[in-house]
A and B are shown apart, each in its own frame.
Chain A
Amino acid sequence: MQNIYNMIWADAIVRFKKHNPDEESWKVKLLVYLSVMNSLNLFMVGLWAQYFGWFKIPFIEVNIFSPLDKSISFALTFALPFFIVNYFLIFHRSRYEQILKKTPKSNTNIALTYSLTTIISTFLTAIYYGYIG
């Protein structure tokens, strides 16, 4: 599991730097984007669990500013934990340098495959759960 996680991150960093060489805030962008992808995956698992009646998704409810409350609630429940974990596992003390050295280079675009698979499967799951199921 750790190998797959490292492979996704290593591939994401290499490809991001390759296609956006002048981007200064690449760490923040990658961290935010892949944390959102992780959160969508967790949400999909939670939605299926809710669908089968195993448990109800425990959203953290907030009441800060009405138009943003839903987004903040979802972000706190699903994205923030991944944001923190990813930061400490990848970017804290430049751990990504060791990961890049250890992880073998892959010709497959793992990061893009992971992202698009996550996005499409979560979208289909949400539509099925909300409107068909």
Chain B
Amino acid sequence: MYTKKFWGNPELGPPLAGNPMLLRYAKYTRWGGTTVGAYSTFMAFKDIGTENQTFLTVPDAVVGIGSLSFVGLKHFAGVKYPIVGKLAFFYGVARLSYDLGVHYGPSKLFAPKPFHFSPGGPPNVNFYDYMLNSGLID
């Protein structure tokens, strides 16, 4: 009973085979391996190339490289591990969400914006300091 529930009917396949929700979801994760692999790898290698490593650089590199390896195995050797692509897809979604939070999260929404006196002027200097340094006021 349990075995049949777990492995499914031999004629109909596993219990979730043909599930419309999973099929719809699989359409988006089909490119997950290559896309997330390239995205994570590029991001990690850009960090390493510019010597700006963060605590997420190694996980990015590992996920990206692992994902690209399995894509290569699938393309050229016919070895298929769909779970790797899906895990990579989830990692990519989580990573993108984290980055969105870092760049556009509430802490950035309400943070005071630096004042730029002029486009060519010194950055992060307010109007009073600029006038003081330029000798316009005492």
Query: Which residues of A approach B to under 8 Å, CB–CB?
Result: 11-12, 15-16, 18-20, 29-30, 32-33, 36, 40, 43, 46-47, 50, 57, 59, 66-68, 70-71, 73-75, 79, 109, 111-112, 115-116, 119, 122-123, 126-127, 129-131
Contact = CB atoms under 8 A, between A and B. Distances in A.
A130 B72 contact: no
A15 B75 contact: yes
Contact of A15 (B42, B71, B76, B102): B76
B48 A75 contact: no
Contact of B61 (A30, A74, A109, A126): A126
A46 B45 CA distance: 11
Interface of B: 34, 37-39, 41-51, 53, 57-58, 61, 65, 68-69, 71-78, 96, 99-100, 102-104
Contact of A119 (B53, B57, B68, B102): B68
Contacts of A40: 41, 45
A19 B49 contact: no
Residue among A29, A74, A122 with most chain B CB within 10 A: A74
B16 to A, nearest CB: 22
A123 B68 CA distance: 11
Nearest to B72: A115
A130 B38 contact: no
Contact of A131 (B46, B53, B74, B76): B53
B103 to A, nearest CB: 4
* Interface residues of chain B: helix, strand, loop or mixed (majority): helix
A75 B43 CA distance: 9
What 5 pairs between A and B have smallest CB-CB spacing?
A67-B99, A19-B78, A74-B42, A115-B72, A66-B103
A20 B71 CA distance: 12
17 contacts: A15-B75, A16-B75, A29-B34, A33-B34, A36-B41, A36-B68, A59-B50, A67-B99, A112-B76, A115-B76, A116-B69, A116-B72, A126-B45, A127-B61, A130-B51, A130-B57, A131-B53
A87 to B, nearest CB: 17
